[in-house]
Amino acid sequence: MMGEIRSVIELGDGRLRSQAQPVHPVDDPQLQRVIDDLLTTGAAKNGVGIAAPQVALGLQLFIVASRPNPRYPQAPTMEPTAMINPHILSHSDDLVRGWEGCLSVPGRRGLVPRYREIEVAYQDRYGQVHRHYLQDFVARIFQHEYDHLQGMVFLDRIHDPRDILTEAEYQQRFG
């Protein structure tokens, strides 16, 4: 993976609020470069996920890359995965609240309700279709990134503004 770090757009940029478009074909060299750049950008900025709209590309594409890092020390480890044209096929009834941050919302953390388990489908970077269940933190990342493709950010899911903290306050309490 020899991607370049792209600049991440932030809350207030209208491109974060746009509906992303389906991607095809997947084997396009430019798309493969975007995937490499997203992988590199997410890793460089200690993200556990990053979506194409965050680098101002209106494509239905994101990376899920759970791993422990300074921003998420408790995260489980998985192979960073590009998910293209993703869908949520079904979800559990139960919602769990957990802390989230976002590279496009620097300096803030929020307590966000998400489905504990989801059934998802997506294409990988080779065009292969995958369909499986995700639970807990990885399901949370998927739902967070999926929201980006609909022009949503995690703050939109928070019912009580008192569930939003500064990063410094979050680190003091939970870091």
Q: How far is 101 from 82, CA to CA, in rounded Å?
A: 20
Nearest to Zn ion of 29, 56 (CB atom)? 56
Q: Which is nearer to Zn ion, 28 or 156 (CB)?
A: 156
Task: Dig out the tokens for 133 from the structure.
Answer: 């269940």
Binding mask 76-115 for Zn ion (x = CB under 5 A): --------------------------x-------------
Taking CB atoms, the residue at the shortest distance from Zn ion is 102
Q: Closest distance between Zn ion and the C-beta of residue 104, in Å? A: 5
Active site residues: 145
HSE (side-chain half, CA atoms, 13 Å) at 83? 28
Beta partners for residue 110, in sequence order = 100, 164
77 in helix, strand or coil?
A: coil
66 SS3 class: coil
CB of 54 to Zn ion, least distance (A): 6
Contact positions vs Zn ion (CB under 5 A): 102
